[in-house]
A = this chain, B = another copy of it.
């Protein structure tokens, strides 16, 4: 097997290939899957389930390149631990161990590195994970402001009976959203643009496993979980619709957007449904447990705005996610295209 896609001699990688939207999907489908294709990676979930002859393990990786490094509600260190822990939670796994790889440009302030590392330590404690192995590379400084990239990979024990991914989504499933949307991307954008809001605008960056565990303890059957990071809730819904082969029907008025996020989106001309989150996820569960799930999630400070936002309407050969708004009109959601928000995670 060799990579089948023809590549023009001069085709280059652009920021949109990393935005989590359409071009990212193309890169994965045309370059990575043909080369690495195996049963595990084909599920296209954020983490892999590994059979180790002793129950299943979830395994996931993410690199963090956010700019600025420090932002309201967090920093690259908190994000690097929380984001990977959340990917494990989205596999239905209890996060246990993390690795950590630093790529640092020479000239980076040791003081800032220590601040980031301290923040990782706190986030690891909060999520009950241990950072057990690491690596540091220093590279030549390229820009005025020396930079840092962090990769974390994570391992957790799978807790469920059935696999949790897009292929397990069923007709009639309720779609539950765990919180209000857009806070992470808008906090970063506001920080970059020098905007400030009287109500305050902080990233929602927070660990999600406790909420997943509570749903499991309430014996709610989890079909699919997805955190709405790069590309926002809209991109996550479109991807899951495509991967499951199901149409989704959604109600815009059910999706909570905080006042400062609304203001920031209006000022910057952005759609909160395409804005990245770092502490909010979608759950696909049986319709008859939807109210219970909503109640369970609302017990958490990060889940106060949890709401049933729609349902899986049925199988389709050209699956779409259809959003109904309060005026009675409808629109198809689309994946984030281009580089609306580079380097937010």
Contact = CB atoms under 8 A, between A and B. Distances in A.
Interface of A: 2-3, 5, 7-19, 24, 27-28, 31-32, 35-36, 38, 40-41, 46-48, 50, 52-55, 57, 59-65, 96-97, 99-111, 113-114, 117-118, 120-121, 124, 130-140, 142-143, 146, 149, 151, 153, 155, 157, 342-343
Contact of A106 (B13, B59, B64, B130): B13
A249 B134 CA distance: 30
B135 A62 contact: yes
Task: Say how many copies of this protein the assembly contains.
Answer: 2
Contact of A54 (B16, B48, B52, B140): B52
20 contacts: A5-B114, A8-B110, A12-B109, A13-B105, A18-B137, A36-B130, A38-B130, A41-B132, A48-B99, A50-B97, A50-B155, A63-B101, A63-B137, A63-B151, A65-B137, A103-B149, A142-B142, A149-B149, A153-B153, A155-B155
Given A2-B118, A114-B7, A342 B52 contact: no
A53 B31 CA distance: 37
Contacts of A103: 63, 65, 103, 149, 151
Contacts of A133: 40-41, 46-48, 59-61
Nearest to A24: B136
Contacts of A110: 7-8, 11-13, 31
B52 A57 contact: yes
Given A61-B101, A106-B13, A146-B12, A139 B35 contact: no
A97 B40 CA distance: 10
A104 B38 contact: no
A17 B55 CA distance: 40
Given A17-B104, A35-B114, 9 more contacts: A11-B110, A12-B106, A36-B131, A38-B130, A40-B132, A61-B100, A63-B137, A103-B103, A142-B143
User: Which residue, of A41, A117, A136, has the highest number of chain B Cβ atoms within 10 A?
Assistant: A136
Given A12-B107, A36-B124, A106-B12, A61 B146 contact: no
Contacts of A109: 10-13
A140 B61 contact: no
